[in-house]
Amino acid sequence: MVTCYIGIGSNLGNRRQYISKAIEELKAAKGIRFKKSSSIYETEPISAIPQGPFLNGVLEIETSLDPRTLLNELNVIETRLGRVRTVKNAPRTIDLDILYYGDKIIKESDLIVPHPGISKREFVLKGLRELGKK
């Protein structure tokens, strides 16, 4: 099992409910063991697209899934919870991003780990510190 950190966020509809449902889906997913969640923070979007504020946090999980399979599982959960991908950084019901996958460094066209936006998102830094990730 590999320890991973997942960024979670929502800025459409009942944001808390979408975050709770995503956590429930992660807990039920094969190959994923939910460990804990950081506090949830309200944040302003980092986008030129007009949209409402986010609720964001960080999740700690353990997984036996390889990084690509984990990404696919996160995308399936997003789709089940109503996320529609239109343009980059558009408003969304749920957003699940792999922040860290153990100590792996991955640079692929659609999967970069550690996530390149970590240092630009205070809620991620706070959440990681809260969960004990140094």
**CB within 8 Å of 14: residues ≥ 6 apart:** none
Helix (H/G/I), strand (E/B), else coil: 13: coil
Taking the C-alpha atoms of residue 73 and residue 101, their distance in angstroms, rounded to an integer, is 14
Which residues are tagged catalytic?
Answer: 83, 92, 95, 97
Taking the C-alpha atoms of residue 102 and residue 80, their distance in angstroms, rounded to an integer, is 26
Torsion of CA 107, 104, 4, 65, to 10 degrees: 80
